[in-house]
């Protein structure tokens, strides 16, 4: 892309893709913003009067709003913590030469192929159910009363389910990063007197920081909008114990047929996602440079 002509041609070539992407983003966003300022309930036909910031006011003063916000952040933070720490440990394990390495790696990736609703239902009915679940059975074996995960610790249970789904993703990215580490560096560190833990903290972990940044950024985007797992397991309950912002928007716009309120919630969620993104970029984005 050296000459003026080839640069112009380049811009022309990518413009359709850019325009489609831009429309894809701006049309739904514009319509959501527009709806969020209307008094628009599907059960009340007739005019959609302009409502100003009324919808936003309702959304912010909803008693479920602050719990939902905190639940969202706990969900994202909890899953990120489990997947990055667990992913690094699993990657270290899978990097060791062992018998059946190929099969083990495929097995590790498997949860990523299971769709969220299915895996959440499997966890709900086959693992966490106090009567039919394997955890309940295990508790009975040891003579302990079974623990009803989804009603006693609903948010933690959902964090575990989602972390299980995302662990393979983190493991895979971190494993490839680990494999790109120059073995001479580890040998040099060994000659320099670094033990296994020093080698991990001084050589491997800094090397993994860039991959970990990618994992955290990508996962955050998806984890802010976790929905299916909540819908099929707890329905946001008991009460609002496992309601996150996405689920709150759903329950207001679809369960109460209030398009205006739901749109306002959606815009709030967009703003929240951007705030989180800015903080993340500030904190760890510099790892992606250089």
Partner 1 sequence: MGQIELKGVTKRFGDAEVIPPLDLQINDGEFVVFVGPSGCGKSTLLRLIAGLEDVSGGTINIDGRNATDERPAQRGLAMVFQSYALYPHMSVRKNIAFPLKMAKMSKAEIDAKVDHAAKVLNLSSYIDRRPGQLSGGQRQRVAIGRAIVRSPKAFLFDEPLSNLDAALRVNMRLEISELHNTLKTTMIYVTHDQVEAMTMADKIVVLQAGRIEQVGSPLELYRSPKNRFVAGFIGSPKMNFIGGAEAAKYNAFEIGVRPEHIAVGPTGDWQGRVTVSEHLGSDTFLHVETQHGLINVRAGGEVGVHHGDTVWLTPDRSQMHRFDQQGHAL
Q: Any idea what DSSP says for residue 195? A: -
CB of 129 to partner 1, least distance (A): 47
Between 139 and 194, name the residue whose CB sits nearer to partner 1: 194
Nearest residue (CB) to partner 1, 156 versus 194: 194
The three-class DSSP label of residue 274 is helix
CA distance 290 to 277: 20
- Minimum CB separation of residue 209 from partner 1 in Å reads 8
Residue 176: partners with Cβ closer than 8 Å, 6 or more residues away:
211
Q: Is the dihedral of CA 103, 105, 111, 113 positive or negative?
A: negative
Contact residues for partner 1, defined by CB under 8 A: 182, 184-185, 187-194, 198, 202-203, 206-207, 209, 290
CB of residue 102 to partner 1, shortest distance in Å: 20
Q: Are 40 and 259 in contact (CB under 8 A)?
A: yes
What is the DSSP secondary structure assignment for residue 130, as one 8-state letter? T
In the bound state with partner 1, the residue whose beta carbon lies nearer, of 75 and 204, is 204
The CA distance from 256 to 253, in Å, is 6
Query: Which residue, 179 or 256, has its beta carbon nearer to partner 1?
Result: 179
Smallest gap from Cβ 249 to partner 1, in A, equals 42
């Amino acid at each position: 892309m050296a000459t003026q002509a080839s640069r112009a041609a380049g811009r022309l070539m990518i413009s359709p893709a850019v325009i489609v992407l831009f429309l894809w983003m701006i049309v739904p966003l514009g319509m959501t913003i527009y709806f969020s300022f209307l008094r628009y309930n599907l059960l009340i036909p007739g005019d959609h009067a302009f409502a100003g910031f009324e919808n936003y006011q309702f959304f912010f003063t909803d008693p479920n709003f602050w719990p939902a916000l905190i639940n969202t952040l706990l969900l994202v933070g909890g899953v990120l913590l489990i997947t990055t720490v667990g992913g690094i440990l699993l990657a270290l394990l899978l990097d060791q030469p062992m018998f059946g390495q190929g099969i083990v790696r495929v097995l590790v990736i498997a949860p990523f192929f299971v769709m969220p609703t299915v895996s959440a239902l499997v966890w709900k009915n086959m693992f966490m159910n106090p009567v039919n679940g394997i955890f309940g059975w295990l508790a009975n074996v040891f003579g302990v009363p079974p623990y009803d995960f989804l009603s006693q610790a609903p948010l933690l249970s959902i964090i575990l389910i989602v972390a299980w789904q995302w662990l393979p993703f983190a493991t895979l990215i971190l494993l490839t990063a680990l494999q790109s580490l120059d073995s001479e560096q580890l040998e040099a560190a060994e000659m320099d007197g670094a033990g296994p833990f020093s080698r991990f903290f001084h050589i491997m972990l800094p090397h993994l920081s860039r991959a970990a940044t990618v994992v955290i950024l990508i996962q955050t985007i998806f984890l802010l909008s976790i929905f299916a797992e909540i819908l099929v397991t707890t329905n946001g309950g008991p009460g609002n114990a496992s309601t996150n912002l996405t689920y709150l928007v759903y329950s207001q716009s679809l369960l109460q047929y209030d398009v205006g309120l739901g749109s306002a919630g959606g815009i709030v969620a967009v703003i929240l996602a951007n705030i989180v993104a800015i903080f993340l970029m500030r904190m760890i984005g510099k790892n992606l440079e250089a």
